[in-house]
Amino acid sequence: MSTETTSTQITPPRALTIAGSDSGGGAGIQADLKTFAAFGVYGLSAITAITAQNTQEVRSAYELPATSVAEQIDVVLEDIGAQAAKTGMLANAQIIEAVVERIRHWQLRVVVDPVMRAKSGDALLQSKAVDALRKQLLPLAEVITPNLPEAEVLTGRIVKTSYEMREAARAIHDLGVQHVVVKGGHREEEPVDIYFDGSHFHELRAERLETRHTHGTGCTFSAAITALLARGYTVPEAIAEAKTYITGAIRYAPGIGHGHGPVEHFWRWHPVTTLADAVGADVYPWPRPPITTLDQQS
């Protein structure tokens, strides 16, 4: 009598990250793939640059040829496919142009994390590439997630107050992006994110957590949105759930390194027994934070 068993094949949703490699594992491709896995999404990657970095510094960066980036995208999508994609560190105008061409070719749903600097302050995007990012990539983005400094570069204006965040979101939307989330983590006041869907403004609120371990938060937040889009969530649902996820990831950061350490991507499966009490008995489906509708600015 045969004892062989047949495996049950369940094809998972797939998501592609187009970004740089972080040798410290806290940001970039590494953070994106961990986040995809945390949401049960199979992660694909196209590496744009290889960085030698830790929690304190980016010691060096090697930008890959744009043709290599394009080939990485093609080879995985030809065979495996993806329901959604995200961009992170794109390094230079040539890579941006190659990525834009492949996005158009594959008609990808794209979340753009407009990475310009590492948490350590080191530049990750050539200044002359900003124009290519703004004019070529943003019109293809379904969602963009700039922090305040990135929003300032994209709009050419000061962005500090809630009003300025709303105006920046509107200006970025005018560049062709469908959904804009201007993140408020750099504010000295309450870290409220402003989400503009093209018609209305919404607030995403969370308590400020006093910690230096926030390396890769932007990568992780945008990757969570991407993973949830791949799973079939609507954009507002994906943004709201991603906010819950990144808040927990910061709260349970493992405290690795002597600088800005990484967040905990698998905090919902953390062995700490108090975790279930912290997020509620029913960890899945995951709770969503409230989105407060603001008055639309004229």
Domains of the chain by residue range: 14-267
Task: List the CATH code of the domain at 14-267.
Answer: 3.40.1190.20
Side chain identity at residue 293, one-letter code: T
Side chain identity at residue 185, one-letter code: G
Rounded CA gap, 87 and 69, in Å? 12
Output 33 or 255, whichever has higher pLDDT.
33
Q: Where are the beta strands (DSSP E) in the chain?
A: 14-22, 42-53, 58-63, 84-87, 110-112, 143-144, 179-182, 193-196, 201-204, 291-294
Of 81-95, 119-133, 246-260, the least confident: 119-133
Identify whether the C-beta of residue 259 lies closer than 8 Å to the C-beta of residue 27: no
Identify whether the C-beta of residue 252 lies closer than 8 Å to the C-beta of residue 264: yes
Calculate the alpha carbon distances from 190 to 40, 53, 206, 244 in Å: 32, 30, 8, 16
Partners of 117 in beta bridges: 123
Side chain identity at residue 291, one-letter code: I
How would you list the strands of the sheet with 42-53, edge to edge?
58-63, 42-53, 14-22, 84-87, 110-112, 143-144, 179-182, 193-196, 201-204, 291-294
At 127 the three-state DSSP class reads: helix
Q: Which pLDDT score, from 0 to 100, does residue 84 have?
A: 98
Q: Which pLDDT score, from 0 to 100, does residue 157 have?
A: 93
Say what angle helices 235-251 and 217-230 make with each other, to 10 degrees: 140
Q: Which pLDDT score, from 0 to 100, does residue 190 have?
A: 75
Can you tell me the mean pLDDT for 106-122?
Answer: 82
Can you tell me the mean pLDDT for 28-43?
Answer: 96
Identify whether the C-beta of residue 85 lies closer than 8 Å to the C-beta of residue 112: no
Average pLDDT over the chain reads: 86
Residues serving a catalytic function are 183, 214, 216-219
Q: Which of these, 141, 192, 195, 146, lies nearest to 166 by C-alpha position?
A: 195
**Cβ-based burial of 3 (10 A; exposed 0-12, middle 13-18, buried ≥19):** exposed
CA Rg value for the chain: 19
Above pLDDT 70, what percent of the chain? 84
